[in-house]
Amino acid sequence: MAKFYRKTSQKITESIIESSLFLSALFSVFITLSIVGILAYESFGFFKEVSFREFLTERQWTPLFADPKFGIMPLIAGTLLTTAIALVVALPLGLITAIYLSEYAPHRVREVLKPVLELLAAVPTVVYGYFALLFLTPILQKFIPDLSGFNALSPGIIMGIMIIPYISSVSEDAMMAVPMQIREGSYATGATKFQTAFKVIIPSAFSGIAAAFIIGISRAIGETMVVAIAAGGQPNLTANPLEPVQTLTAYIVAVSLGDVPHGTIEYKTIFAAGITLFFMTLGFNILGFWLRKRIREAY
Amino acid sequence: MKDLKKRIALNKYRNNVFAIVGLLSTLVGFFLLTALMIDLFRDGADRLSYKFLTSFPSRFPEEAGILSAWVGSFLLLLVTACAAIPIGVAAGIYLEEYAKKNWLTDIIEINIVNLAGVPSIVYGLLALGMFVQVLKLGESVLTGGLTLALLILPMVIMATREAVRAIPTVIREASYATGATKWQTVRWHIVPYSTGGILTGVIIGLSRAIGETAPIITVGALTFIAFLPTSPISSEFPFISFKWLMDPFTVMPIQMFSWVSRPQQAFQLNAAAAGIVLMVMTLLMNGIAIYIRYQYRKKIKW
């Protein structure tokens, strides 16, 4: 009778392989811990020299001046302004696109249009930045003479176009998850696709659409190159999209391009900006993840 | 009765209008993208030439080229691929085949989803603090490559998981039924069948990496590199050198960014030309990935 056990050497090999694979998977946790660790460590150094109060309430961000001011609000304002403009563009377009693709489009049309949308997300962001600065801004200046060469409107619009694919694909997933019976019930009462989409499907898919919204916000907050190229390099506490602004991300790029020795206060400012950025996107990412889980559980 | 007919007609009208509005808004992005391509092409096509592709950047826009940039991009992608593929595929296989349903697995999964959403510049800061300062790797090709590897790691892991998940359970069960161990099943059955999907995911990840600017700027790629990293082929024994890993470098998106930021219009034309090259490479890689996915789906029918 053959013996039904494995050779010890084989067991050892299996176990080593499983451990190596496990360590690769655990590596991702290590990456997150490193991100938090490095940001926290350098920010800690920053906050030893700059008070929390000044960071949050001061209205100017001028770390390189003789009398430096370290208020983060101008950078946050720049980030939020460009993000808001991007969402004003992306949310309606993304949602309408999603409704069209899930409720109206014939199968073949869908098969063609979906890759086109994915293409929008594949274009390198520097190219979008080029477009915002050299194509869109001059065109907008014809309609809005007051528009300065660097402004928040142009990159905001481009960012909006960039994140349409994210919003539309998550919304579409959410809408597709609504069972056919609910749609058919609505059609049976004589409702048109339009009425069904807006009065039945969207309310049912609401948490998925909210998740799409949140993912869009997170993506726009973290966008760097479009705003670095087209929005300008002056931190500016304003709500006016026609003026130049600087976002958290663009600030980090601007400092990195210059000659910043390790350990100086300027070096630490990029980590302070970085940790602010990280927590903003983390909060939105967690919210989005939780909402997306809810779509799957709802049915 | 008439009132009802009116209502129905109005609803039908709204429905039809919306169908058109829907189609148009889906195409808005496409139209803008086409406008972008045409604009880029119009500005940059003149500057594209063999000379452009084989010259270094220069203070004179007419003489400037992207040689150091595309060589840098290529070397960087090489490092990125070598780092991201093994770790990503291993992690993906672990999560799909070996992981038990416990809290640790949940933490790992949440982590990967979270890392996918972290802005790319934060990866740059991580690399600056970790690779440049703590590990003292300097502002080198190695640092840049590792940074991008971290950036695309979540993508590779997710692509691997999708590819492995697509394999029907019967294959696994048939393998175990012959007495194979878990690793044997993975090595001889799971990996071959999922290679297509993994490759697609990896190429799409690399096409994203080639266009990344922010993290590379943060780790210190310079914008005026008028030399190439040391050649990997050296004239003395052992004929292959790794010194290029530690050399300073630049990449194509950074070159484009640098030129776009200059006020002279001539440099902006250069930026357009660099943009064309970058777009062509990105589209080519995406196209290859989609082709591989298509071929793979055709061949393997469960």
* pLDDT tens digits for range B33-82: 898 889 888 888 887 887 788 887 777 777 778 888 888 899 899 999 99
Query: Any chain A CB within 8 A of the CB of B203?
Result: no
pLDDT at residue B153 above 90? yes
**The model's pTM:** 0.88
Report the topology of domain A74-298: MetI-like fold (1.10.3720)
Hey, are the CB atoms on A120 and B253 less than 8 Å from each other?
Answer: no
Closest chain B C-alpha to A161 CA, distance in angstroms:
6
Cα–Cα distance for residue pair A205/A258, rounded to 1 Å: 47
Residue B234 or residue B76, greater confidence: B76
CB count in 10 Å sphere of residue B177: 9
Give chain B's radius of gyration (CA, Å). Answer: 25
Q: What contacts A44, CB < 8 A, 6 or more positions away?
A: none
In a mutational test of the B interface, the residue from A118, A217, A256, A267 whose CB has the highest number of chain B CBs within 10 Å is: A256
pLDDT at residue A297 above 60? no
Mean residue pLDDT of chain B comes to 86
In a mutational test of the B interface, the residue from A7, A11, A14, A21 whose CB has the highest number of chain B CBs within 10 Å is: A21
pLDDT at residue B89 above 60? yes
Which of the four pLDDT bands, split at 50, 70 and 90, describes residue B205? very high
3-state DSSP assignment of residue A160? helix
Which of the four pLDDT bands, split at 50, 70 and 90, describes residue A120? confident
Which of the four pLDDT bands, split at 50, 70 and 90, describes residue A206? confident
Per-residue confidence (pLDDT) for residue A290, from 0 to 100: 80
Per-residue confidence (pLDDT) for residue B209, from 0 to 100: 92
CB count in 10 Å sphere of residue B237: 6
Q: What contacts A130, CB < 8 A, 6 or more positions away?
A: A229, B40, B256, B260, B271, B272, B275
Mean residue pLDDT of chain A comes to 87
Which tokens hold the place of B146?
């590792």
SS (H, E, C) chain B: CHHHHHHHHHHHHHHHHHHHHHHHHHHHHHHHHHHHHHHHHHHHHHHCCHHHHHCCCCCCCCCCCCHHHHHHHHHHHHHHHHHHHHHHHHHHHHHHHHCCCCHHHHHHHHHHHHHHCCCHHHHHHHHHHHHHHHCCCCCCHHHHHHHHHHHHHHHHHHHHHHHHHCCCHHHHHHHHHCCCCHHHHHHHHHHHHHHHHHHHHHHHHHHHHHCCCHHHHHHCCCCCCCCCCCCCECCCCCCECCHHHHCCCCCHHHHHHHHHCCCCHHHHHHHHHHHHHHHHHHHHHHHHHHHHHHHHHHHCCC
Residue (of A242, A238, A264) closest to A61 by Cα position: A238
What is the per-residue pLDDT across A123-179, written as a single tens digit (0 to 9) for each? 999 999 999 998 898 888 888 888 888 888 999 999 999 999 999 988 988 888 888
Closest chain A C-alpha to B243 CA, distance in angstroms:
25
Residue (of A41, A60, A62, A44) closest to A52 by Cα position: A44
Which of the four pLDDT bands, split at 50, 70 and 90, describes residue A295? low
pLDDT at residue A298 above 60? no
Cα–Cα distance for residue pair A116/A227, rounded to 1 Å: 24
Mean pLDDT calculated for residue range A111-116: 84
Check: CB of residue B126 under 8 Å from CB of residue B150: yes
pLDDT at residue B224 above 70? no
What is the per-residue pLDDT across B107-129, written as a single tens digit (0 to 9) for each? 898 889 889 889 999 999 999 88
What is the per-residue pLDDT across A60-78, written as a single tens digit (0 to 9) for each? 888 877 778 888 888 999 9
Cα–Cα distance for residue pair B156/A87, rounded to 1 Å: 29
Per-residue confidence (pLDDT) for residue B237, from 0 to 100: 60
Per-residue confidence (pLDDT) for residue A90, from 0 to 100: 93
Per-residue confidence (pLDDT) for residue B240, from 0 to 100: 67
Residue B235 or residue A158, greater confidence: A158
Hey, are the CB atoms on A222 and B121 less than 8 Å from each other?
Answer: yes
Residue written as tokens 């349409």?
A164
SS (H, E, C) A205-221: CHHHHHHHHHHHHHHHH
Hey, are the CB atoms on A253 and B121 less than 8 Å from each other?
Answer: yes
Q: Which of A124-128, B268-272, B286-290 has the highest mean pLDDT?
A: A124-128
Cis peptide before B238 (omega within 30 of 0): yes
What is the per-residue pLDDT across A12-21, written as a single tens digit (0 to 9) for each? 888 899 999 9
Residue (of A84, A222, A89) closest to B114 by Cα position: A222
Mean pLDDT calculated for residue range A170-198: 89
Determine the straight-line distance between the first and last CA of chain B, rounded to whole angstroms: 56
Per-residue confidence (pLDDT) for residue A4, from 0 to 100: 64
Which of the four pLDDT bands, split at 50, 70 and 90, describes residue B164? very high
Hey, are the CB atoms on A126 and B275 less than 8 Å from each other?
Answer: yes
In a mutational test of the B interface, the residue from A19, A225, A278, A291 whose CB has the highest number of chain B CBs within 10 Å is: A225
Where are chain A's structural domains? 74-298
Selecting from B12, B122, B181 the residue whose C-beta is nearest the C-beta of A14 gives B181
Per-residue confidence (pLDDT) for residue A97, from 0 to 100: 92
Nearest CA in chain B to A127: B275
pLDDT at residue B263 above 70? yes
Q: List chain A residues with CB under 8 Å of B98.
A: 18, 21-22
Please state, for a pLDDT cut of 70, what percent of chain B lies above it. 94
Range in A49-58, B109-118, B236-245 with the lowest mean pLDDT:
B236-245
Cα–Cα distance for residue pair B124/B119, rounded to 1 Å: 9
Which tokens hold the place of A188?
């049976």
Per-residue confidence (pLDDT) for residue B236, from 0 to 100: 62
Which tokens hold the place of A162?
């960039």
Residue (of B111, B238, B151, B66) closest to A125 by Cα position: B151
Which of the four pLDDT bands, split at 50, 70 and 90, describes residue B131? confident
Q: What is the ipTM score, two decimals?
A: 0.88
Closest chain A C-alpha to B235 CA, distance in angstroms:
35
CB count in 10 Å sphere of residue A109: 14
Q: What contacts B52, CB < 8 A, 6 or more positions away?
A: B65, B66, B270, B273
Per-residue confidence (pLDDT) for residue B83, from 0 to 100: 93
Cα–Cα distance for residue pair B163/B194, rounded to 1 Å: 5
Q: What angle do CA B108, B112, B117 make, to 5 degrees?
A: 145
Which of the four pLDDT bands, split at 50, 70 and 90, describes residue A221? very high
A69 pairs with which residues across the strands?
A62
Which of the four pLDDT bands, split at 50, 70 and 90, describes residue B232? low
Which of B:131-150 have CB within 8 Å of A?
A: 133, 150
